[in-house]
Amino acid sequence: MSAVFSRRAVLVVRLAVLALLGLCVATVLLAVWRARAYEQLGEPITQPIPFSHKHHVGDDGIDCRYCHTTVETAAHAGLPSTAVCLGCHSQLFRDQPLLALLHRSQASGQPIAWQRVHVLPEFVYFNHGVHVAKGVACVECHGRVDQMPLAWRARPLQMQWCLDCHRDPAAHLRPTSQEFSMDAPLPPPDQAGLLARAAHLESRRRMTDCSTCHR
C-alpha cells in the first residue's frame, strides 16, 4: 500500500493551513478597523444648514458661549435656538437660500434637525458645567473648531480616553481666561500644578469612580 500523502499533497495542506491562519488574522484586523471607524475621527458631518464653525469662530471670532449658552451652567452645552441664529441672520445674508430652512423653522415653529457630532451612550452622564468650571478648555475635547468648515469629531470620546484625563487632570487644565480660546497653548507644568490646586480637583479615586460618569 502506498503513502497517503505525496510531497505535493503535503504542499497543498501546508498552503491550506496558512490560508486559514491568514483568514483569522484578517478577521481580527477587520474588527479593529470597524471599532476605529465608530469613532468617526475627523469626518466632517453634513448638516441641514452647512454651518461653518471656521467662519463663525475663526473669522468672525464669535465666543462659543454666544450660541452654546448653557455650557457653563448645565450638563448640555446647548444648541442655539432658531431665534439665536436669527439674531444676526434676520439682517445678515437673510436672503441666502442656504438660510431658507432657518426662516422656515421660525415660521413653522419646527426645530432644525441638526446632525449630532459628539454622541455619548445614554448611560454616560457628562457635565459641561463642571468641566468648564475646572478649567478644561473647549479645544481640549472638541479640537480646533475654528478650523472646521463642517464640525467633526476631534477626539475618540472612548472611556479609555476620558480616563486618561481623569487620572491626570492637571496636565489638561487652562486658566479660565483662556478656556474659550482656540489657540491658547497648554501652560507649562509648574503652572499646571497651581491650576490644579486652584480648581480644587477631587481625589484621583473620586475622579475614576464608576459613579462619576455612570448612574
Binding positions for other proteins, rule: CB under 8 A: 1-7, 9-10, 13, 34-35, 37-38, 40, 69-70, 72-76, 78-84, 105-106, 109-116, 119, 121-123, 125, 127, 129-130, 133-134, 156, 158-160, 163, 200, 202-203, 205-206, 208-212, 214-215
Choose between 93 and 161: whose C-beta lies nearer to other proteins. Answer: 161
**CA gap 64, 7 in Å, rounded:** 72
Choose between 8 and 189: whose C-beta lies nearer to other proteins. Answer: 8
User: What is the closest distance, in whole angstroms, from the C-beta atom of residue 139 to other proteins in the complex?
Assistant: 20
End-to-end CA distance of the chain: 72
Would you mind telling me the total number of residues written for the chain in this entry?
215
CA 91 to chain centre: 32
- Measured at the alpha carbon of residue 183, what is the angle toward residues 138 and 76, in degrees to the nearest 5? 10
The DSSP-derived string for 160-190 is HHHHHHHHSGGGGB--GGGTT-SSPPPPPHH
User: What is the closest distance, in whole angstroms, from the C-beta atom of residue 51 to other proteins in the complex?
Assistant: 12
Contact 148, 44 (CB under 8 A): yes
User: What is the closest distance, in whole angstroms, from the C-beta atom of residue 36 to other proteins in the complex?
Assistant: 10
Choose between 127 and 185: whose C-beta lies nearer to other proteins. Answer: 127
Specify the amino acid at residue 128.
Answer: H
Choose between 135 and 187: whose C-beta lies nearer to other proteins. Answer: 135
Choose between 21 and 210: whose C-beta lies nearer to other proteins. Answer: 210
